[in-house]
């Protein structure tokens, strides 16, 4: 792809992220194109279907979530890098909530996203978790898989509560990760597939 075309794609994805967060996934194409500084024709040339754009937005957020792992490790102690990554993952899940109607529509364009997510995010979290466990900052009987699903469950919408509630629940989980096991047998925490 030519450099100018890639710039347009990047601008459209960035604009779509903002517009989807504020106006919803069904926002007018013109609103996205205007924010990106391109014409509607350019939007449709790169993303012929709305599902193409939604998929690109979700993949860009997944990529950013995965890339945050090494970035946080470079500037924080392992335990704090892990905690900060888990807070960012919680934010990611919150922003994805606005895309839920599209993502759960049954459109085949979205079928590969869960696999893409696990392929990108799983290794990033595993590295952070292993480093924090090796340094004694967190318990060593929890897997990345456990954490991804536990936090996803903690981020389910709760009537009358917003994203702050989810962050508080994840903060409790993070505190629990830092707690030493006492008198607990090494059960089957890794056997849940």
At 80-110, the pLDDT tens digits run: 999 999 999 998 888 776 787 788 888 999 9
Residue 136 backbone zone (phi > 0: left; psi -120 to 50: alpha; other: beta): left
Q: Which two tokens stand for residue 153?
A: 């469950």
Q: What is the pLDDT of residue 1?
A: 65
As a whole number of angstroms, the distance between CA 85 and CA 128 comes to 8
Domains delineated in the chain = 1-48 (1.10.10.60), 50-178 (1.10.357.10)
Quickly state the pLDDT bin for 178 (edges 50, 70, 90): very high
Nearest Cα neighbor of 184 from 144, 139, 129, 153 is 139
Rounded mean pLDDT of 115-139?
A: 95
Q: What is the pLDDT of residue 185?
A: 44
As a whole number of angstroms, the distance between CA 43 and CA 36 comes to 9
Residue 78, SS3?
helix
User: In the predicted model, is pLDDT for residue 191 greater than 60?
Assistant: no
CB 156 within 8 A of CB 149: no
* Model confidence, pTM: 0.83
pLDDT tens digits for 125-134? 999 999 999 9
User: In the predicted model, is pLDDT for residue 190 greater than 80?
Assistant: no
- Number of C-beta neighbours around residue 174 at 10 A: 19
pLDDT tens digits for 15-61? 999 999 888 889 999 999 999 999 999 999 999 999 999 999 999 99
The residue behind tokens 């529509």 is 105
Helix axes 3-23, 29-36, angle to 10 degrees: 130
As a whole number of angstroms, the distance between CA 118 and CA 65 comes to 11
As a whole number of angstroms, the distance between CA 153 and CA 125 comes to 17
Q: Range with the lowest mean pLDDT among 3-7, 93-97, 155-159?
A: 93-97
Q: What is the pLDDT of residue 102?
A: 83
Backbone phi, then psi, for 173, in 5-degree steps? -60, -45
């Amino acid at each position: 792809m030519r450099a100018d075309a890639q710039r347009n794609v990047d601008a459209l994805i960035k604009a779509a992220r903002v517009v989807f967060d504020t106006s919803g996934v069904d926002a007018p194409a013109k609103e996205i194109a205007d924010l990106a500084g391109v014409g509607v024709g350019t939007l449709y040339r790169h993303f012929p279907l709305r599902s193409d754009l939604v998929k690109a937005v979700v993949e860009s957020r997944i990529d950013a979530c995965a890339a945050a792992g090494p970035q946080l490790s470079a500037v924080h102690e392992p335990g704090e890098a892990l905690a900060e990554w888990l807070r960012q993952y919680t934010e990611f899940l919150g922003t994805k909530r606005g895309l839920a109607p599209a993502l759960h529509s049954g459109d085949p364009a979205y079928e590969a996203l869960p696999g893409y997510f696990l392929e990108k995010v799983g290794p990033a979290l595993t590295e952070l978790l292993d480093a924090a466990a090796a340094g004694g900052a967190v318990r060593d009987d929890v897997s990345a898989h456990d954490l991804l699903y536990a936090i996803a469950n903690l981020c389910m919408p709760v009537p009358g509560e917003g994203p702050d509630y989810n962050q508080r629940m994840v903060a409790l989980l993070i505190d629990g990760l830092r707690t030493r096991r006492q008198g607990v047998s090494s059960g089957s925490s890794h056997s849940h597939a």
